[in-house]
Amino acid sequence: MDTVTQEEAVAATPLADDERARFFAASPFGGLECLTATFRLHRYAPHAHETYAVGAILAGCETFSSRRGRGYAGPGELVFMNPHEVHDGAPHDGGYAYRMSYPSIETLGAVAAEVSGRSDVGIPFFPQPVVHDPAGFALFVEAHVALQEDEDALKGAELLYRFLSLVIVRHARLPAREPGREHGPVARVKALLGERFAEPLTLEDLAAEARLSRHHLIRAFARETGMTPHAFLVNRRINAAETLLRAGLSPAEVAQATGFADQSHLTRAFKLRRGVTPGAYRMAFAR
């Protein structure tokens, strides 16, 4: 059977009025194809992808068949289809809502090599099409939402990389190499984030500065600092925002100067960490 993209698979059958399907390309991982959808009646014809299909059921239940038999995926469960695996899909008992991603063989092969510390590890294989993994589910949904919102490329990339690393170890059963302490590389990345916090740095930029793999960097950085690189970056931006707000700059000006996508992005991040909005913080220091 010829492989198809997920967009082609959805388009093969028209959607009902109360059904929704939205595709978007996430800039990290080579423009990763992603889907968020709600289906009540839509049925997929048997098809296969050149990529993996990895996602999460948000509500309802999906049923599908593949060479592994008939499966059912419900709320809070992760679903996996391996490349070239023929499968269909249909609503069960009223429909379902889900979020999906379609990482390439090259992407998961690279993540597997970094996680295992071996260049000859091959490509991951997920033996179970449906798994219950609350931590993995939450991480995937957070990553998918961040990639869709596209406010902060590093956030989405880091979250998705952490998710892929997690599920490759847990559900493709690949042993992980535990990183040691990396004082020098972590210090270099901290300095880079401290100096260039307003720039759109990527996970690859940080790994290159550290001269470590992305997996090794994230794990070592969190072990050294108690935060992931993205969390450290946001904290640095908030500290810089406080200085500028105390100097009288408007929240919009501060957002632009500190690397946030816009004023709303700054406001959400600031209030989450300081308990007040940037405007209220600025007024407290007004002369």
- Same-domain status, 156 and 44: yes
What integer pLDDT is reported at residue 99 of this predicted model?
A: 98
> Do both 173 and 189 map to the same domain?
no
**What is the pLDDT of the chain when averaged over all its residues?**
93
Question: Per residue in 255-264, pLDDT tens?
Answer: 999 999 999 9
Domain holding 20, by residue range, is: 1-177
Amino acid in the structure at residue 229: P
Residues 107 and 163 in one domain: yes
- Tell me how many domains the chain contains: 2
Q: How many CA atoms lie within 13 A of 192 on its CB side?
A: 20
> Residue 60: which CATH number?
2.60.120.10
Global pTM value: 0.91
The CATH code of the domain that includes 243 is 1.10.10.60
> What is the C-alpha separation between 8 and 226, in angstroms, rounded?
43
For residues 201 and 105, membership in a common domain is answered with: no
| Band of pLDDT at residue 223, cut at 50, 70 and 90 | very high
**pLDDT tens-digit readout, 39-77:** 999 999 999 999 999 999 999 999 999 988 999 999 999
In angstroms, the CA 69 to CA 263 distance is 50
Last residue of a domain, one of 159, 177, 195: 177
Do 202 and 112 fall into the same domain? Answer: no
| 84 in the same domain as 2 | yes
The residue out of 177, 192, 220 marking a domain boundary is 177
User: Is 177's pLDDT higher than 90?
Assistant: no
Question: Average pLDDT in the 216-225 region?
Answer: 93
Q: What is the dihedral of CA 131, 132, 135, 138, to 10 degrees?
A: 90
Q: Are residues 164 and 25 in the same domain?
A: yes
Q: Is the same domain home to 155 and 209?
A: no
Same domain, 197 and 157: no
User: In this model, does residue 235 exceed pLDDT 80?
Assistant: yes
CA dist., res. 23 & res. 36, Å (int): 7
As a whole-number percent, the residues of the chain with pLDDT over 90 amount to 82
Looking at 177, 208, 233, the residue that finishes a domain is 177
Check residue 7 and give its pLDDT.
78
- In terms of domains, do 191 and 127 share one? no
Phi first, then psi: give them for residue 91, nearest 5 degrees.
-70, 145
Same domain, 211 and 130: no
Same domain for 151 and 266? no
